[in-house]
Amino acid sequence: MIDLRSDTVTRPTPAMRRAMAEAEVGDDVYMEDPTVNRLQERAAEVFNREAALFMPTGSMCNQVAVKLHTKPGSEVVIEERGHIYNYEMAAMSAISGTLARPVKSPDADGILDWAAIQTGLHTNAAYYVAPTSLIALENSHNLAGGTLMTKERTDEICRQAHDINLPVHLDGARIFNAAIALNETVADLSASVDSLMFCLSKGLGAPVGSMLLGDKNFIEEARRWRKLLGGGMRQVGVLAAAGLIALEESPKLLHHDHAHAKRLAEGIAETRGCEIDPTRVQTNIVIFDVTHTGIEANEICAHLKHQGVLASGFGNAIRMVTHYDISRADVDRALVALRGVVRESSHAALNG
């Protein structure tokens, strides 16, 4: 199977498996797991932050950050396709008592600017209007197709937000992809946000885990909330060991995923009825419109599966994500399969 559904499907590398087998461990609820401690110190160092915390998932990192930055009855401004708003089970209302205030990006690329954020801000509003307590950004932006927010844009949003005492949290699930595509370090790219998270378990290839970063007080409070939510883990150094390898080794390889995504997008653009602008594919996520094939996205995905290719369909679009387990040859095979499916389905439709 060529699995292009997500970069979460990667399996641990042989080096990760070896490190997991040999990991030194302790009880991490007592903060005595040396491998977890090393991973947290190393992540803080890479991002030039005071502290970091290992969490089971990116969603838990995001939701703990929302909890710490906000008060019940307040609002979080977020781009309308943001992961925190769309795919985290309304957790910001369930856990933090907050409401998402979705706003539109100026272009279709999901990348906010200050003017767009202002359309959703309630800062000096009447007492009976829920105040804004947080701005949540996402880089790269998953549902907008792995798009990028530059350092300049991020810094400008943070400067404006901080001027009115609003914190900014960054969902950096794929910030290493963003940094490599923008030719920045992850530390510089995220320097101005108040907190951020990144996932070890996506393009970096670890089996499990995400990191929340911020200042010391923030991370101490985050540790308490992680425990409250049932995320206090014990000899979890077996997972942190894979995370350390993901953090040190995987970023060097991400440019291959980006080249593969570009190649995939170029091939898709040449496929009848499939619409995508390959110049807009900047990282490892490829989303294309299939309306003009005359076949539903889910149906195309079902046919692709028979050809050994897995992709995700939503609405009129299909998402394909390249990752460490996908080679250039896999990309070419996926393109052959896609063309075959579109051709055969349209013949069937004509004959039927």
Q: Can you name the residues that pair with 54 across neighbouring β-strands?
A: 211
Q: What is the rounded CA–CA span in Å between residue 62 and residue 196?
A: 8
- Least distance CB 333 / ligand PLP (angstroms): 25
- Least distance CB 82 / ligand PLP (angstroms): 8
Q: Are 33 and 25 in contact (CB under 8 A)?
A: yes
Question: Any contact of residue 145 with ligand PLP (CB under 6 A)?
Answer: no
Interface with ligand PLP (CB under 6 A), residue from 67, 81, 83, 303: 83
Q: What is the rounded CA–CA span in Å between residue 114 and residue 262?
A: 30
Question: Any contact of residue 330 with ligand PLP (CB under 6 A)?
Answer: no
Residue nearer to ligand PLP on the CB measure, 110 or 251: 110
In whole angstroms, what separates CA 89 from the centre of its chain? 16
Interface with ligand PLP (CB under 6 A), residue from 210, 283, 293, 345: 210
Give residue number: closest CB to ligand PLP: 58
Interface with ligand PLP (CB under 6 A), residue from 3, 171, 184, 194: 171
Interface with ligand PLP (CB under 6 A), residue from 13, 59, 98, 190: 59
Question: Any contact of residue 110 with ligand PLP (CB under 6 A)?
Answer: no
Ranges of H-type helices in 47-98: 58-69, 83-86, 91-96
Interface with ligand PLP (CB under 6 A), residue from 12, 58, 110, 214: 58
How many Cβ atoms sit within 10 Å of the Cβ of residue 71?
Answer: 12
Q: What is the rounded CA–CA span in Å between residue 179 and residue 192?
A: 14
Supply the DSSP symbol for 10: -
Q: Are 147 and 109 in contact (CB under 8 A)?
A: yes
Q: Can you name the residues that pair with 320 across neighbouring β-strands?
A: 286
Q: Are 154 and 193 in contact (CB under 8 A)?
A: yes
- Least distance CB 246 / ligand PLP (angstroms): 13
Question: Any contact of residue 79 with ligand PLP (CB under 6 A)?
Answer: no
- Least distance CB 210 / ligand PLP (angstroms): 5
Question: Which one of 19-27, 57-65, 115-123, 281-289 is the stretch in contact with ligand PLP (CB under 6 A)?
Answer: 57-65
Question: Any contact of residue 286 with ligand PLP (CB under 6 A)?
Answer: no
Helix, strand or coil for residue 121? coil
- Between the alpha carbon of residue 54 and those of residues 231, 238, 344, the distances in Å are 10, 12, 48
Question: Any contact of residue 323 with ligand PLP (CB under 6 A)?
Answer: no
Nearest CA-CA partner of 271 in 285, 292, 257, 286: 292
Supply the DSSP symbol for 275: B
Question: Which one of 28-36, 54-62, 251-259, 334-342 is the stretch in contact with ligand PLP (CB under 6 A)?
Answer: 54-62
How many Cβ atoms sit within 10 Å of the Cβ of residue 304?
Answer: 23
Question: Which one of 55-63, 114-122, 243-251, 336-344 is the stretch in contact with ligand PLP (CB under 6 A)?
Answer: 55-63
Q: What is the rounded CA–CA span in Å between residue 63 and residue 98?
A: 11
Question: Any contact of residue 322 with ligand PLP (CB under 6 A)?
Answer: no
Scan for tokens 């957790």, then name that residue: 91
Question: Any contact of residue 3 with ligand PLP (CB under 6 A)?
Answer: no
Residue nearer to ligand PLP on the CB measure, 182 or 335: 182
Q: Are 333 and 2 in contact (CB under 8 A)?
A: yes
Residue nearer to ligand PLP on the CB measure, 231 or 237: 231
Secondary structure element (H or E) that encloses residue 177, with its range: helix 175-182
Residue nearer to ligand PLP on the CB measure, 59 or 283: 59
Interface with ligand PLP (CB under 6 A), residue from 53, 77, 173, 297: 173
Question: Any contact of residue 142 with ligand PLP (CB under 6 A)?
Answer: yes
- Least distance CB 58 / ligand PLP (angstroms): 3
User: Which residue ranges make up the site for ligand PLP (CB under 6 A)?
Assistant: 57-59, 83, 138, 142, 171, 173, 199, 201, 210
